[in-house]
């Protein structure tokens, strides 16, 4: 998997690198769906529980995926911000307050990137701390995947076996078989799905300009209830971890914490204007895209284009469209994305203190990314300076 990136990185060091172009082959198509295990559940919950208009929500996801793929030329993902999403789904908040949270989130990360405040913070992220965050996030994905697979264990078990058999097969990508299994099983488990699919309405719609519906109270509530609690999670997962992951997999296409922060700032200032929710570059998403075959930004361009099409022409029938993938299949996708992210810790070395810090950070990260980063920095420094011993 990382072989292509390392080879090209060697060429870059030798001064002979050629600018990597996005690919659109079968592996990029397969890798395009590597993050739907996270995307679909959040989108469905936003639409059905929070009553977010599906057109703007899906359209802005598509646009941001498209731009990310074309600009970065790696599978640098676009994901819903998890803490904000969970709080919104549980709290019955209004769409306008979420748009307000998007604006304040965008403003914070844009300023954090421009002012350079992230530079000293990033220096505190030593290898054991970063690997701990990635391990914790990977295990969280795997646990979530297992819980989803429990909804249909026989289907999930069959899908797991097929995926493992085809995981490194370049001719028949595992994701294609997963999608086929998902669609067929959805119809078998719910025979009425075919009649529901026949009711899909195709019609052209454009997203509405959302700014006029946002009040000062929406902005204030969104900031206090959603933006502030999300910052530590975004710092650990969508700034520090994704930067390390991208640069390790694709050293010929490096990013910096500053660039990622500014990127997240810009997209969250734009997305709410047309009905988008707060988004980030989550490390788990890249692991999912890469695990199923993506090696360039082409995968994001493919997924983004599909989402834009769904938004513009099928937004009235989104709830039906997303029923074609059972929860158990989404669980399988999450499980493999998590394992791909967690396996990066193999290079931690055999130093006991580094391994210990990584494990502690991973355990805390499964609860809170920001707390994990803080705990990791304190423990790592305490061990290095012999304030404590294990």
Q: What is the 3-state secondary structure (H, E, C) of 165-226?
A: HHCCCCCCCHHHHHHHHHHHHHHHHCCCHHHHHCCCCCCCCCCCCCHHHCCHHHHHHHHHHH
Residues 6+ apart with CB under 8 A from 54: 43, 47, 311, 315, 318, 319
Q: What percent of the chain has pLDDT over 70?
A: 95
Q: How far apart are the first and last CA of the chain?
A: 35
The rounded distance, in Å, linking the Cα atoms of 298 and 25 is 8
User: SS3 of 150, please?
Assistant: coil
Average pLDDT value over all residues in the chain: 89
Given pLDDT bands bounded at 50, 70 and 90, which one contains residue 88?
confident
Q: How confident is the model at residue 5 (pLDDT cuts 50, 70, 90)?
A: very low
The verdict on residue 258 lying in a domain is yes
Task: Give me the mean pLDDT over the 151-158 stretch.
Answer: 96
Pairing of strands 79-80, 279-280: antiparallel
Query: pLDDT value at position 92?
Result: 65
Q: Is the pLDDT of residue 91 over 80?
A: no
Look at residue 388 and tell me if it is in a domain. no
Of 242 and 90, more confident = 242
Q: Confirm whether 379 is domain-assigned.
A: no
Q: Does the pLDDT of residue 4 top 80, yes or no?
A: no
Identify which of 5, 27, 28 has the alpha carbon closest to the alpha carbon of residue 17.
5
Q: Who wins on pLDDT, 357 or 284?
A: 357
pLDDT at 20: 86
Work out whether the CA dihedral 300, 302, 303, 308 comes out positive or negative.
Answer: positive
- Condensed to tens digits (0 to 9), the pLDDT of residues 280-315 reads 998 889 999 999 999 999 999 999 999 999 999 998
Mean local confidence (pLDDT), 228-256: 90
- For the chain, how many structural domains are there in total? 1
Q: Which two tokens stand for residue 249?
A: 């997999």
CA distances 40 to 47, 55, 177, 199, 263, Å, are: 11, 14, 18, 20, 23
Q: Could you tell me if residue 354 is inside a domain?
A: no
pLDDT surpasses 50 at 69: yes
User: CA 277 → CA 312, 365, 381, distances in Å?
Assistant: 17, 24, 37
Asked if pLDDT for residue 11 goes beyond 80, the answer is no
User: Is residue 372 situated within a structural domain?
Assistant: no
Other CB atoms within 10 Å distance of the CB of residue 166 = 18
Quote the pLDDT of residue 370.
76
Looking at residues 254-269, what average pLDDT do you find?
96
List the one residue out of 22, 54, 58, 90 whose CA is nearest residue 279. Answer: 58
In a domain, 389, yes or no: no
Domain that holds residue 117: 3-11+19-124+145-341
Which residue, chain included where needed, has tokens 């707060």? 278
Give the pLDDT of residue 99.
92
33 in helix, strand or coil?
coil
- pTM comes to 0.85
Q: Give the pLDDT score at 12.
A: 41
Q: How far apart are CA 100 and CA 102, in angstroms?
A: 5
Cα torsion 193, 194, 199, 205: sign:
positive
Q: Which residue, 181, 142, 162, is CA-closest to 331?
A: 142
pLDDT of residue 117: 87
Q: Look at 350 and 161; give whichever has higher pLDDT.
A: 161
Does residue 167 belong to any structural domain of this protein?
A: yes
Higher-pLDDT residue of 86, 39? 39
- Neighbouring-strand partners of residue 279: 80
How high is the pLDDT of residue 3? 43
Which two three-digit tokens encode residue 274? 């047309």
**pLDDT band (50, 70, 90) for residue 10:** very low
Q: Is 350 a domain residue?
A: no
């Amino acid at each position: 998997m990382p072989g292509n990136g390392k080879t090209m990185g060697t060429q870059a060091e030798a001064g002979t690198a050629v600018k990597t172009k996005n690919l659109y082959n079968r592996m990029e198509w397969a890798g395009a769906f590597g993050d739907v295990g996270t995307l679909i559940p959040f989108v469905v919950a936003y639409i059905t529980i929070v009553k977010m208009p599906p057109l703007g929500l899906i359209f802005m996801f598509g646009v941001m995926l498209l731009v990310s793929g074309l600009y970065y030329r790696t599978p640098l993902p676009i994901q819903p911000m998890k803490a904000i999403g969970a709080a919104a789904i549980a709290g019955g908040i209004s769409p306008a307050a979420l748009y307000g949270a998007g604006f304040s989130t965008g403003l914070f990360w844009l300023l954090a990137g421009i002012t350079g405040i992230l530079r000293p913070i990033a220096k505190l992220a030593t290898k054991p701390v970063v690997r701990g965050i990635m391990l914790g996030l990977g295990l969280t994905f795997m646990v979530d995947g297992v819980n989803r697979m429990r909804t249909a264990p026989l289907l999930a078990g069959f899908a797991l076996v097929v995926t493992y058999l085809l995981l490194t097969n370049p001719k028949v990508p595992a994701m294609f078989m997963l999608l086929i299994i998902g669609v067929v099983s959805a119809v078998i488990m719910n025979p009425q799905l075919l009649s529901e699919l026949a009711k899909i309405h195709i019609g052209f719609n454009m997203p509405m300009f959302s700014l006029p519906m946002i009040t000062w109270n929406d902005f204030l509530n969104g900031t206090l209830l959603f933006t502030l609690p999300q910052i530590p999670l975004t710092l650990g997962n969508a700034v520090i971890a994704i930067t390390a992951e991208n640069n390790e997999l694709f050293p010929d296409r490096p990013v910096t914490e500053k660039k990622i922060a500014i990127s997240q700032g810009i997209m969250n200032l734009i997305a709410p204007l047309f009905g988008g929710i707060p988004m980030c570059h989550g490390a788990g998403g890249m692991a999912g895209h890469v695990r199923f075959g993506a090696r360039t930004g082409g995968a994001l361009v493919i997924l983004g284009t599909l989402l834009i099409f769904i938004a513009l022409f099928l937004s009235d029938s989104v709830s039906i469209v997303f029923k074609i993938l059972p929860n158990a299949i989404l669980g399988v996708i999450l499980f493999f994305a998590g394992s791909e992210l967690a396996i990066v810790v193999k290079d931690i070395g055999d130093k006991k203190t580094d391994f210990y810090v990584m494990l502690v950070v991973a355990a805390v990260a499964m609860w809170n990314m920001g707390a994990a980063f803080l705990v990791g920095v304190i423990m790592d420094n305490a061990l290095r300076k012999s304030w404590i011993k294990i």
